[in-house]
Amino acid sequence: MLSHSPPFPLIIYYPGKRSTTMSEEDKHGAKVALQQRERVHRVHIAAPASNLRDLVQVMNDEYPNLQRLLIRAQADPRADRRNRNRNRNDAVTVTLHEGLRAPLLHRVTLSNVGLPTSSRLLSGAGEDLVSLGLLNFPAEPPDLHPAHLTAQLAALSHLELLTVHFSTAVPNRQVMRQLQGAPTTRIALPRLRMLAYRGGSAYLEGILARLDAPHLHTLSVEFFNQFTFSVPSLLHFARAMNALTFRSAALYFDEDFVSLIVDPLDKRAGDGGGGGGGTHPLHVQVKGKLLDWQVTSISQICSTLAPLLAQTENLMLGFHKDGPDPAAAGAVEAEAPGAAAGWQVAVDRAQWRALFRIFAGVKTLQLSGGRIGDLFRALQPRVGEGNGGGEGEGADEEGTNDDGVDGGVFTPEILPALQKLVPRGWGDPDDAFASFIAARTAAGLPVRLVRSRS
């Protein structure tokens, strides 16, 4: 049919299904269509990697009229059944042919698909490319280190949407070795509006340190679990986004991740429950299950953004509603031998206090989640604290009153501007916050408790 039909434009659309492989008849038809290079305008193919590898080898030349390209490699159903406990994205990567070129590309989305370092697909697209998504990008070995990726992006002056999601984290040390001696030339993407990233912090820093995006208004970051986070360029981009004018932020501690959301509107920062939905100007998420790890991780990121967060006036603090005790004063070890497997980990009070010190300008603190009132025990001074004693010195077990108020003097270093506590939905009774409010009142820093059932 193709060989005898008029030269109408071709759209190759094969969305595929995870539960089935591509039939030989379908694969043969796709190959024949892909060989009509001058007629192909759009390609949308999602299929098992074993089928796609044959198809991408056919795409080894220029497609002069191709405008949209979406290729999604999926796990082979038979292999998936044999490896039910493995990630679906493991070992399904397909690599495009280095000869593939498409000068009129408008939108590109590649999932589990790698680009050879010699590829001219991106650099040859030029000003027509406005949306680029590299999803589940292969990380071992990384096909594009940050310097090479930004060099590929340099020609895309009209790019508006950029997504770079790695399938697994590229170790920070490996990225740093790659960047040694790499060019540090900055590139400009004057029309970039949204950048979404998932991976390690060193790789993101390698991108941001080379990128100028004056009109960026949405930055969404998802980090894998790691020990340290160093992304100094994050604050630079927050400044460029005018994020310093934002007055609302949210911290969500969920079962599998912790999120920081910075938003100019209270209602947006307070929505979403777990912080995973919607679009916000600045959204940083860290994967990880242990609560103490979550607090440590988000504290590092908040420290980087301290000049921004110090001006926050409204802070939403949310815990997973079924989570156990989110904080226990002075506890640094798991509550039970099996606790390390999940949320049953208490957090050192010093970690909470260090995190809250960053939010010095908060006037309204909204709260949601199970037993969140217990957190405020971590904000209470111990006996001797405020009178020259340290957090561990001068304190004794008998210094706490029956109502839970420590005998020490309250110091205004924690949320000094706070005026209002707003518990939302489920949670603790009013007396869960009594000791915190009493200590603030005694220090001349009264706080009003306002119940919200929304």
| Token duo for residue 236 | 């630079």
User: What per-residue confidence (pLDDT) applies to 90?
Assistant: 45
| Cβ–Cβ under 8 Å, residues 406 and 436 | no
pLDDT digits (tens, 9 = 90+) for 387-408: 444 444 334 433 444 333 444 4
User: What per-residue confidence (pLDDT) applies to 349?
Assistant: 79
Is the pTM here over 0.85, yes or no?
Answer: no
Burial code (b: 16+ CB inside 10 Å, e: under 16) for 309-347 equals: bebbbbbbbbbbbebbbbbbbebeebeeeeeeeebbbbb
State the burial class of residue 27 (Cβ atoms within 10 Å of its Cβ: 0-12, 13-18, 19+). middle
What is the spatial distance between Cα 354 and Cα 421, in angstroms, rounded to a whole number? 20
DSSP state of 169: P
Rg (CA), the chain: 26
User: What per-residue confidence (pLDDT) applies to 327?
Assistant: 45
| Token duo for residue 70 | 């979406």
User: What per-residue confidence (pLDDT) applies to 292?
Assistant: 87
Residues of the chain where predicted confidence (pLDDT) is lower than 50:
80, 82-90, 142, 266-277, 324-345, 383-384, 386-409
User: What per-residue confidence (pLDDT) applies to 314?
Assistant: 94
What is the spatial distance between Cα 381 and Cα 289, in angstroms, rounded to a whole number? 28
The CB density around residue 353, as the number of other CB atoms within 10 Å, is 16
Nearest residue to 65 (alpha-carbon basis) of 13, 108, 7, 104: 104
Helix (H), strand (E) at residue 421 = strand 420-423
DSSP state of 22: P
User: What per-residue confidence (pLDDT) applies to 386?
Assistant: 46
Which residues are paired to 207 by β-bridges? Answer: none
pLDDT digits (tens, 9 = 90+) for 374-383: 677 666 655 4
DSSP state of 309: H
The CB density around residue 444, as the number of other CB atoms within 10 Å, is 8
What is the spatial distance between Cα 392 and Cα 65, in angstroms, rounded to a whole number? 70
User: Angle of helix 233-240 relative to helix 291-304, nearest 10 degrees?
Assistant: 60
- Where do runs of H (alpha helix) occur along 139-198? 146-153, 172-179
The CB density around residue 231, as the number of other CB atoms within 10 Å, is 23
The CB density around residue 130, as the number of other CB atoms within 10 Å, is 18
Nearest residue to 190 (alpha-carbon basis) of 152, 158, 218, 146: 158
Instruction: Check the CA dihedral 269-273-277-282 and report its sign.
Output: positive
